[in-house]
A and B are shown apart, each in its own frame.
Chain A
């Protein structure tokens, strides 16, 4: 072990009375923490490598293991917490830019937890979702402003293309490369079974998943990996990625080490070559330019697919969304600053962007004020953790939500936030065959279906409680929300009254 000023953050606690030295932990830990000591005839652990992913704990047949946070500490200091001190050591030792994964872990306010949902009492009856039909189906896309009829008075079908979803929950973009084949397969299968969509991310679409096209959103990012006509035509919608909540203003970069085999084939770049997505699309410097890309995508797919433009929630998000709503896009996806990622510079992840709750409320209000809310549908993402978050997002103005971190957790992710190491013990954020085979796509898909089905049922319960039987009737219905412990400004931006008002 190299000498280091960093003390291991976790301790591997092994109960010697229970450990039978079966060496399961040794085989399961992708970080090579556990080792059988032939001389001592017992298991040992190098905890400096432990990322607390719980893989060994989950698979230990005798429950001999647990991982605890070390109580070793620095001299207490509010201004210099442990993480900050350790980051200084890391950078002083390496000269490198700090790289992290998953979402922003800092203690910024979580507005979902400061919002409460209404329910009917006495004057308008609630509905029992077990007995009465509740509609959770949504249609995402531009809605026509006027209807046209022919001479005989028959309606002329002038509805722009819509994305029909049985529930307002989609799986958001995660590229093949950043996550494994089996993870993609699980998402694709679950999306089909649920009647919703998953999203390819910017890594192209594996040949095996073309049959799931109707439940696929194909993404176009600045690097245009794996983008060609057949790919664009394969999905139910096309998403232009302008930004990502976890790293607004930053491009993507999948290291060459992960560009192997099928990942290279799907991205259509040679093995071992870095996949660099520049921060901007260099053909887009204005809303007019964006319109050009949106229309070129529509042109090549014969105006049959809705186009989503995905942006990170940043300071001027409302004005930006107003521009996008005039760009020909059908759907705007807004990604808040807590959204996950396979890798992002720590400083960007932790300090750039704004909370999705405020961004969403601001965008919805702005589009309404300008009379163009019907031009687009809104998808909100960036750490939606439960059906309550989904409901609150819809009440703040979303048509649907994107989930990714929660979806990965359904697949086994234990939020160890080490995706960027490429050694995910759960077979998700890795391309190593011995690890990826740990995720069974059949089981993965089933668990995703379970999660979304449960959430959808909970949505119906909440809808029933409010006495409203269609999710679309709740979109932007902020009267159904009250804030607790929020100041005037926050309430004003969210467009909700305080509890008790």
Chain B
């Protein structure tokens, strides 16, 4: 495997942009748009990352041993982003899936406002580690969501979930889908798999794929 180590990546944008294979390891906070249009391979960051991580990514894996800024996974269509810490605003905005492409974002900590805004597909899992006493997301979670699924490990649903979202406690079937994601997370970041899996999860899904259908009248 083509392993690259580079000491001067501090603040550098577009790292791994469009990469199709290989592994990049980053030890200093990279700039925005890390792994934009990523098409395969792996990027491992041993510190925080900034905005627009994994923008429009198509395949591959981004692993962040820290937190990320805003709009992580914007419009991603495939691959996976694992964040040990927190994310900023609009994580997973406009994520979409198509056939065998099913993007995944797993966040160990909490997410800022507008998590999964306009989400059209894929899976977002927020573990909320250390935030067990409150919702692990900010305001307007799932606003405009019309596909995919958001799992929250919490007993406290956000109070402002929009009308087109159904929130349900995850049953056995959902837990079998969550388990491999948690396992991957724990393998990377060394958390307790059993403890995480034995918690309460909620699944948020949209109840329509056509949220605006009723809005218009022909003129």
Contacts and interface: CB of A to CB of B under 8 A. Distances in A.
A97 B215 contact: yes
A197 to B, nearest CB: 22
Contacts of A253: 212
Contacts of A270: 97-98, 121, 147, 209
A232 interface: yes
Interface residues of B, number: 46
A87 interface: yes
A90 B75 contact: no
Interface string B189-219: 0000000000000000000011111111111
B96 A269 contact: yes
Is chain A's binding surface mostly helix, strand, loop or mixed? Answer: mixed
A228 B58 contact: yes
Interface of B is mostly: loop
A272 interface: yes
Contacts of B212: 253, 255, 274, 276
B117 A282 contact: yes
B49 to A, nearest CB: 14
B94 A229 contact: no
Interface residues of A, number: 41
A97 to B, nearest CB: 5
Contact of A98 (B71, B96, B101, B219): B219
B10 to A, nearest CB: 17
Interface in B1-25: 13-14, 17-18, 20
Given A229-B39, A229-B58, 13 more contacts: A93-B217, A222-B94, A224-B75, A228-B58, A256-B210, A269-B97, A273-B146, A273-B147, A282-B93, A282-B117, A283-B55, A296-B33, A296-B37
7 contacts: A96-B217, A97-B217, A229-B18, A256-B213, A269-B147, A274-B211, A274-B213
Interface of B: 13-14, 17-18, 20, 32-33, 36-37, 39, 51-52, 55-56, 58, 70-71, 74-75, 77, 90, 93-94, 96-98, 101, 114, 117-118, 120-121, 144, 146-147, 209-219
Interface of A: 87, 90-91, 93-100, 222-225, 227-229, 232, 253, 255-256, 268-270, 272-274, 276, 278, 282-283, 292, 295-296, 299-300, 345-346, 420-421
